[in-house]
Chain A
Amino acid sequence: MTTDMLSIEGVSKNFGGLSVISEVSFSVPEGGRVALIGPNGAGKTTMFNLVSGVYRQTAGAIRLRGHDISNVPSRKRVRLGMARSFQNIRLMPHLSVIENVMLGQQARTKSLADMAMPLSGSRWRREAETLLGEMGLDTYPGEVVATLPYGIRKKIEVVRALAAQPQLLLLDEPAAGLNQTETASLRDFLMGISRRGVTLLVVEHDMGLVRSLCDHAVVLNFGRKIYEGSTQTVHEDPLVLEAYLGPRHNVAQGAVTNNGVAGDAA
């Protein structure tokens, strides 16, 4: 059996008495493109925060290439080969584009010399420029991020995550707020990243993007996993339909019977 890039094993997360994730298990194969979907409040971003180490799970284990990383501090997880983007863009507003990308390289620094060398003219800077160039974002290197348009900032955030040269990339709603053209170009962009061998785990609401990008989907609802399987059949699953559209007897006409109400009451 090949090792999975990421495996979530019976993970739960409670905030005080509130259970946000309950006993969720799934895995992401090496080189795979997996979507994590579900209605708002299902626990998708919480799951990302658990994987990246912003929160600690209440129970269960998170493994990266077979190693239990549950007790690894967040700043060290990126050094083990995972990087992420955020639902609301969290670039450093006072840093320039190139500086944000160079910050993303931090996980690959090894010594004090890496911290104490001036960055201008360094190999770090040249590398960041090349990466921005490959992603078609080299028109803006010196610009302070706060002044740039939304779509550009969204892409820069992905480039910043890539600068860590991760094997596993977690993307939290990369297409949110993008128009159709931008989403299509984002899809090609992410496919390119995938072809380099980077494993993708994507939280996304745009089902068109999910189906064309990912082969596999995990659906969460109220912190529980309700589906795991192909992205092509996810929309036919009764539990998934119920999670998105409400219980059957509220949707299908004539389904409200005495029997149904009695069944609920029982």
Chain B
Amino acid sequence: MSGYWAGILSILAINIVFAYGIFLPVATGQLNLGGAGFQALGAYAAAYASASFGLPVYVTIPLAALLAGAIGALIAFPILRTRGVYLVLATFAFAEVVAGSILNSETLGGAMGLSVPAFIDWQIPVAVAVLVSLFVFYLMSTRFGLTMRAAHDDEVVTDLMGVNIRKTQVTAFGLGAALAGLAGGLYAHTFSFVEIQGFNAVVSIYVLLYVLLGGTQTAWGPIVGATFFTMLPEVLRETLPTVKQTLATLVGITEPVAPPDESWRLVILGVLTVLMMAFRPEGLITRTMMERLQFRRSPSRAAAEVSA
């Protein structure tokens, strides 16, 4: 496999794991805009453990998940008292606190970043992404997954059904933080270098977009969202010069034109995001869509609908 494709596969795998980390709280009804903070915690935990203690990757990567998960569960107690846009701001602020602390820590390299001695090729992130996907699919099929989705729809009624809402939310948030940390650990060893500028607010926004645009109702959403947004810039990189040349030919310019500016890719990404929000506000993959794919409408069902 070429280096280019190996790199793309690693990034894709990391983004899928990261997206699942945000999906778990979002599916429970909590928008988490602090994704980069949890990813940074995991990345720095793995980087530090690898650089300073020479620990092997099979220790540093689980460590990354554990640390981020523990901190996520701890801050979940105060942070989940806030609602709606305040929760979004609180998680966002948390990520800023993490970034600021790391930037000011000499042990963690400050603005210089840390080199990570142990390198992993694409196979490990891909294997982890497969395992994490299977885990989330399993989780969503259990009664715990059911209570998560119920809490998303109506907290008061879910509580009256006998569900401990607080426990459900903290667990989902903590598990999500652990997965974001796991993605950070994979990131550190894939790129062999971490710097805090790589875990900025845009990263938090993008990963939330993967989840919201992919769909929060089924475990398929984050895979589709992360794949779409990871591959789109690559596809555009390949096709945009051809598109521009074709357009130029159509208006009668025969000589070769200069390839379009890189920033056009961001414009197209932005436009697509707006269109998706307008036409599929619940995400690309919805429950209704999965149901249509799985069940055919039976005659008895149609008859029952008429009589109802």
Q: Which residues of A contact B (CB under 8 A)?
A: 52-54, 74-79, 84, 86, 90, 92-96, 99, 102-104, 106-107, 109, 114-120, 124, 139-140, 142-144, 147, 149, 151-152, 160, 164
Contact check, B304 vs A117: say whether CB atoms are below 8 A apart.
no
Contact check, B160 vs A144: say whether CB atoms are below 8 A apart.
no
Contact check, B141 vs A96: say whether CB atoms are below 8 A apart.
no
Contact check, B144 vs A116: say whether CB atoms are below 8 A apart.
yes
Segment of B42-50, B151-159, B184-192 in the binding face? B151-159
19 contacts between A and B (CB under 8 A): A53-B160, A75-B164, A76-B162, A78-B162, A92-B153, A94-B149, A102-B143, A102-B146, A103-B147, A103-B158, A103-B163, A115-B143, A115-B147, A119-B142, A119-B146, A140-B301, A142-B291, A142-B294, A147-B288
Contact check, A75 vs B159: say whether CB atoms are below 8 A apart.
yes
Instruction: Give the nearest-CB partner of B216 in chain A.
Output: A94
B294 to chain A, nearest CB (A): 7
Known: A75-B161, A103-B158, A139-B300. 20 other contacts (CB 8 A): A53-B160, A54-B160, A78-B161, A84-B160, A90-B157, A92-B153, A93-B153, A94-B149, A94-B152, A94-B217, A99-B146, A99-B149, A106-B163, A116-B142, A117-B143, A124-B143, A140-B304, A144-B287, A149-B305, A164-B161
- For the complex of A and B, list the 8 residue pairs with the smallest distance between their C-beta atoms, beginning with the closest: A107-B162, A92-B153, A139-B304, A118-B141, A106-B162, A78-B162, A115-B144, A106-B161
Complex Cα spacing A116 to B148, Å: 12
Contact of B160 among A78, A94, A96, A102 (CB under 8 A): A78
In this complex, the interface size class of chain B, counting residues with CB under 8 Å from chain A, is: 20 to 34
Complex Cα spacing A76 to B141, Å: 24
Contact check, A96 vs B287: say whether CB atoms are below 8 A apart.
yes
Residues of chain B within 8 A (CB-CB) of A149 are 305, 308
Contact check, B146 vs A107: say whether CB atoms are below 8 A apart.
no
Instruction: Give the nearest-CB partner of B145 in chain A.
Output: A119
Contact of A151 among B142, B149, B156, B308 (CB under 8 A): B308
Complex Cα spacing A144 to B160, Å: 21
Whether B5 is near chain A, meaning CB under 8 Å from some CB there, is no
Contact of B142 among A106, A117, A142 (CB under 8 A): A117
Contact check, B291 vs A106: say whether CB atoms are below 8 A apart.
no
Residues of chain B within 8 A (CB-CB) of A96 are 287, 291
Residues of chain A within 8 A (CB-CB) of B300 are 139
Contact check, B143 vs A139: say whether CB atoms are below 8 A apart.
no
Residues of chain A within 8 A (CB-CB) of B159 are 74-75
Whether B36 is near chain A, meaning CB under 8 Å from some CB there, is no
Contact of A95 among B146, B163, B305 (CB under 8 A): B146
Contact check, B141 vs A119: say whether CB atoms are below 8 A apart.
yes
A89 to chain B, nearest CB (A): 10
Instruction: Give the nearest-CB partner of A124 in chain B.
Output: B143
Complex Cα spacing A120 to B138, Å: 11
Complex Cα spacing A120 to B300, Å: 23
A250 to chain B, nearest CB (A): 39
Complex Cα spacing A152 to B304, Å: 11
Complex Cα spacing A52 to B160, Å: 7
